[in-house]
Structure 1
Amino acid sequence: MEAFYYLVFAALSAVVFGVEISKTTKDRINTSPAFNSFKNNYLVVYSLMMAGDWLQGPYVYFLYTTYGFGKGEIGQLFIAGFGSSMLFGTIVGSLADKQGRRRACVTYCITYILSCITKHSPQYRVLMIGRVLGGIATSLLFSSFESWLVAEHNKRGFDQQWLSLTFSKAIFLGNGLVAILSGLFGNFLVDTFQLGPVAPFDAAACFLAIGMAVILSSWTENYGDPSENKDLIAQFRGAAAAIASDEKIALLGAIQSLFEGSMYTFVFLWTPALSPNDEEIPHGFIFATFMLASMLGSSIASRLMARSSPRVESYMQIVFIVSSASLLLPIVTSFLVAPSKVKGGSMSLSGCLQMLGFCTFEACVGIFWPSIMKMRSQYIPEEARSTIMNFFRIPLNIFVCVVLYNVNAFPITVMFGMCSIFLVVASILQRRLLVIAEKQKTEVWEMKERDNEAEPLNI
């Protein structure tokens, strides 16, 4: 069965390579040397930050099982992380807008390093503290870095379209190549060197420290709303008012919550789904394969966003439908393939089919990240960007916490079914966002036409 893992990895590698070398001038954006320098600096930092995050991903669940915790207790630890992100995320996002995004990025590094250190303790309370710190760090990772990038990009006067290039490259490298190397490196530390499941967390702390040094030495500070007399409550009200007054922002938040909620639930479920009878699976290698699929998705997204048609709002409807169908595979295989009752051994036929579906889902994730980043840069106001982005994470974290709290109450197929339904809803909301955006675009064009007709001729 090991041949299956290598075959899937090799096939995905060949497709990614083919997509990359087949890019034409239509798929590329001409930029300036100053922008390339700025972009490369950001990509180095973002890659280091994501290395610190991805090294931990494949081994969190596994580490907790080696400490003797069951699925229910592990679910509670995951809930602590998502609950922490929900409770503190909006606060740290608002502080980032007010106190500085660069400072928030440094805080991310420090907080996540402390979270990694707690993994050395088998005590449940210490691990719980680590999950709380990790939740805070996650909120900073998915808001402060993007907010700093957008603000700095605009401050330096770069072309708005070039943002999509940075987004797609960041996902291609940080959520693709770096994630693959992190999965393989973690597998190397744990299985080859036999350093134990805590070794990837130590390596993650080292990469985070290096990234923090680069930020401190090369990044300048930028802010959202610089007004000195605007407290956190006023910032919350302003962000809430922006969401309530603009349906596009509200729809974008709902779409993000539905997709990311399904994605984070998948992160928890893929290990028990592929090894329901304690089959021996190479966690790091499978994780690297998933990230290779995500890399393929980001490569496809870069080609799509480099062209004026189709629009992001249009093709993302299809992406959500495909991702919904891919998460239905565990349900389909439970009816079509007789479940194995043999403990241990290699991955079953059902597991192989599910892994192919999960790779398809990860490809959709690779398309989703740069695409949602581009839409956020278009629709979210700059003065409260981090605050609004973390507002979006509140329903996401509630959803994931509810799912994880009831992880023992429902079969795994039911949870995949719920995720699939949410992704269909995301597609419907994406359609609504497209309709509104097209309508407003038409209204602006008609207004300009009327202004041109009303303008008097100079004789």
Structure 2
Amino acid sequence: MELMYYLLFGGLSVVVALLELSKTSKDRVGTSSAFSSFKNNYLVVYSLMMGSCSLPLYSRSRANPPHSGDWLQGPYVYYLYSQYGFDKGDIGRLFIAGFGSSMLFGTIVGSLADKQGRKRACVTYCITYILSCITKHSPEYKVLMIGRILGGIATSLLFSAFESWLVAEHNKRGFEPQWLSLTFSKAIFLGNGLVAIVSGLCANLLADNLGFGPVAPFDAAACFLAIGMAIILSSWSENYGDPSDSKDLLTQFKGAAVAIASDEKIALLGAIQSLFEGSMYTFVFLWTPALSPNDEEIPHGFIFATFMLSSMLGSSIASRLMARSTPKVESYMQIVFGVSAFTLLLPIIANLLVPASGVKGGSMSSAGAFQLFGFCIFEACVGIFWPSIMKMRSQYIPEEARSTIMNFFRIPLNIFVCIVLYNVNAFPITVMFGMCSIFLFMASVLQRRLMVVAESHKSSKFTAS
């Protein structure tokens, strides 16, 4: 079984390398040196931001997946809290507080980015997350709760302010709209893939090999954030959504709500994003118990690195797809959501075909290996999803309220994740995966509707002209 892990990891590494090296002229888009400099600057900052989030990602506490929390801060958070003497219930409430603050306060702070400036919002993210990292030094529950609230606010800014700044700055500098896809795909390839793997290795080195303890990855993350903030302050210009003094926060919220309600494309995009990301976060909670239902010994960090490689593979595929005029992103994403829905049905299929042995320990079963391959395909779909949804958001969300609307999209996601965290042990794992599969199938159906609406809108504009 150990040989299978190495073959899978090595095979994925070779495929990713070949995909990147074998790009032809059809897969590449001719750009200018000014754009390359702009893109590289953003990628350095984005990689530092994602690296700071990924540093606290790996640890032996991955064996506690139902309570080990969120995609960004992962198991070292859980392990650190357990070292301070808190039980699963206390830790669960801390994680719920993080998602709840992202839903409530993050939406407000994200909306301020449109009015007060996206660059300021990105700097605010760095400061907020640094403060969140500092709170990890305290064993006091109230201090840790404040840290989780700050982390939730920072998460909302990470997933709205940086992308909003990028899109606005890209357009302000007069670069070709098609070039934006290059930045998106490369950001996911590096920030959500390669950097995550390297950061995980650094976290293990600091916390375990060098013996600095579970708080060390958070200190390293704070250093990365400080470097990124310095680059932002020195090289980024400010841009806004609607800086009008006549619009207060409530007016901005109303404007964003009206935009979502009046434009079916925006509403569909928000529903698709919530359905997919909700399923993705649920997968993060469940993949370990799915692969080791009888406490089998599985290399959690190694498998997670394989997932990240799969995500890199997906982003590489996405860059090829988006570099061509056909198929359109609205078209191929229907297939991606359909494949994702099938892969999350595999635990149910495996449970039906291969009854559980009930024998504790040992290595991964054949049913687990079957699921592992399916989960790698799902992670490849995740790698395709991120740059593709970014491209659709850049096309359909109005500039004046971009950050506000993007944070509106995260409200149902955070509600869903809080519900899942609270009830993760109340339902069988097959029920949870079945629910995710249904959500992804719904996303595929809504994606089909989005394509139809977008095409009819283009046709009507062409006829009118």
Q: What TM-score, normalized to structure 1?
A: 0.93
Q: Which amino acid aligns with 2:75?
A: Y
| Equivalent residue, structure 2, for 1:453 | none
Note closer, same or farther for the CA distance 1:425–1:21 as it changes in structure 2 (3 Å cut): same
- Residue type of the partner of 2:116? Q
For residue 50 of structure 1, report the CA deviation from its aligned partner.
0.5
Residue 57 of structure 1, CA deviation: 3.3
Q: Is the 8 A contact 1:72 1:408 kept in 2?
A: no
Q: 1:61 aligns with which of 65, 75, 91?
A: 75
Paired position in structure 2 for 1:27: 27
Q: Which residue in the other structure is 1:111 paired with?
A: 128
Q: Residues of 1 paired with 2:397 and 2:208: CA distance?
A: 44
Relative distance call for 1:193 and 1:333 in structure 2 (3 A) is farther
User: 1-side partners of 2:29 and 2:283: how far apart?
Assistant: 34
Residues 354 and 192 (structure 1 numbering): CA distance in 2 closer, same or farther, change over 3 Å?
farther
Is 1:48–1:208's contact at 8 Å kept on the other side of the alignment? Answer: yes
Q: Out of 118, 129, 132, which is 2:149 matched to?
A: 132
Opposite residue 388 of structure 1, the aligned amino acid is I
> d(CA) in 2 for partners of 1:126 and 1:338?
46
1:137 partner amino acid: A
1:145 CA drift (Å): 0.1
Q: Does 1:146 align with 2:146?
A: no
Alignment of 1:159-174 (within 5 A): 159-174=176-191
Partner Cα separation in structure 2 for residue 70 and residue 280 of structure 1? 24
> What is the CA distance between 1:342 and its match in structure 2?
4.0
Separation (CA, whole Å) in 2 of partners of 1:30 and 1:64: 46
CA–CA distance in structure 1, aligned partners of residues 359 and 86 of structure 2? 23
Farther off after superposition, 65-74 or 417-426:
65-74
1:255-294 maps to which residues of 2 (within 5 A)? 255-294=272-311
Q: How far is the alpha carbon of 1:226 from its aligned partner?
A: 1.2
The aligned runs of 1:203-222 (5 Å cut-off) are 203-222=220-239
Which residue is equivalent to 2:395?
378
The 2-side partners of 1:276 and 1:184 are apart by: 26
1:182 and 1:288 in contact (8 A); partners too: no
Alpha-carbon distance in structure 2 between the residues aligned to 1:199 and 1:352:
34
Of 248, 268, 272, 1:251 maps to 268
CA 277–123 in structure 1, closer or farther in 2 if over 3 Å, else same: farther
Pairing 1:402–2:419 present: yes
Deviation at 1:332, TM superposition (A): 1.8
AA partner of residue 163 (structure 1)? L
> Is the 1:340–1:348 contact (alpha carbons within 8 Å) kept by the matching residues of 2?
no
Out of 347, 368, 376, the position equivalent to 2:385 is: 368
Which of 429, 436, 441 aligns to 1:419? It is: 436
Q: Secondary structure at the match of 1:341?
A: coil
TM-score after normalising by structure 2: 0.92
Residue 446 (1) aligns with residue 460 (2) = no
Equivalent residues of 2:57, 2:203 under 8 A apart? no
> Structure 1 stretches of 5 or more lacking a match?
449-459
Structure 1 SS opposite 2:390: helix
Q: 1:305 aligns with which of 319, 322, 340?
A: 322
Partner of 2:336: 319
**Residues 124-153 of structure 1: CA distance to partner in whole angstroms, max 9, x if unpaired?**
443332221111111000000000001111
Partner of 1:339: 356
Instruction: Give the Cα–Cα distance (whole angstroms) in 2 for the partners of residues 268 and 73 of structure 1.
Output: 17
- Residue by residue over 1:271-308, the C-alpha shift from the partner in whole angstroms, topping out at 9 and shown as x without a partner, is 33333344443333222211110000000000000001
Whether the 8 Å contact between 1:61 and 1:74 is mirrored in structure 2 is no
C-alpha separation in 2, matches of 1:53 and 1:63:
11
State the Cα deviation string for residues 372-391 of structure 1 (Å, max 9, x = none).
00000000000000000000
Q: CA deviation at 1:72?
A: 4.7
- One-letter amino acid matched to 2:50: M
Q: Which whole-Å deviations, capped at 9, do the CAs of 1:164-221 have from their partners, x for residues lacking one? A: 1111111111111111212232233344334443332222222112111111111111
Moved over 6 A (4+): none
CA distances 1:218-247 after superposition (whole Å, capped 9, x unpaired)? 111111101012110010011111111100
Counterpart CA distance in 2 for 1:76 and 1:339 is: 32
Q: Within 2, Cα distance between the matches of 1:360 and 1:77?
A: 32
Change in CA separation of 1:33 and 1:283 when aligned onto 2, cut-off 3 Å: same
Unaligned runs of 5+ in 2: 60-73
Could you tell me which of 239, 242, 249 is aligned with 1:232?
249
Partner of 1:186: 203
Q: Note if 1:44 corresponds to 2:61.
A: no
Aligned counterparts of 1:360 and 1:313: Cα–Cα separation in 2: 20
Q: Distance in 1 between matches of 2:122 and 2:363?
A: 42
Question: Do the aligned partners of 1:280 and 1:346 also contact (CA within 8 Å) in 2?
Answer: yes
Answering whether residue 444 of structure 2 is matched by residue 430 of structure 1, we say: no
Identity %: 79
Deviation at 1:22, TM superposition (A): 1.9
Distance 1:348 1:119, change over 3 A: farther
Task: Tell me, in whole angstroms, the C-alpha distance in 1 between the residues paired with 2:396 and 2:338.
Answer: 23
Paired with 2:231 and 2:388, the residues of 1 have a C-alpha distance of 27
How far did 1:409 drift? 1.0
| Per-residue CA distance 1:69-104 (angstroms, 9 max, x = gap) | 555544333222111111112201111111111111
- My pick for the range that moved more, 275-284 or 174-183, is 275-284
> What is the DSSP-based 3-state SS (H/G/I as helix, E as strand, rest coil) of the residue aligned with 1:55?
helix
Task: Classify 1:348/1:76 alpha carbon distance in 2 versus 1 (closer, same or farther; 3 Å).
Answer: farther
Letter in 1 for 2:448: R
Distance across 2 between alignment mates of 1:205 and 1:99: 24
When residues 342 and 112 of structure 1 are mapped into structure 2, their CA distance, relative to the original with a 3 A threshold, is farther
User: Which residue does the alignment assign to 1:15?
Assistant: 15
Give SS of 1:225's match: coil
CA contact (8 A) 2:57 2:76 kept: no
Instruction: Give, in angstroms, the shift of residue 338 of structure 1.
Output: 3.4
User: Offset at 1:122?
Assistant: 4.5
Distance across 1 between alignment mates of 2:137 and 2:295? 24
Separation in 1, partners of 2:145, 2:415: 18
Give the whole-Å Cα distance in 1 for the aligned partners of 2:144 and 2:287: 22
Matched residues, number: 448
Does the C-alpha gap of structure 1 residues 38 and 62 become closer, same or farther in structure 2, counting only changes over 3 Å? closer
Shift of 1:351: 2.8
The whole-number CA distance in structure 2 between the counterparts of 1:237 and 1:428 is: 28
| Secondary structure at the counterpart of residue 247 of structure 2 | coil
Q: Distance in 2 between matches of 1:196 and 1:328?
A: 38
Separation (CA, whole Å) in 1 of partners of 2:210 and 2:376: 28
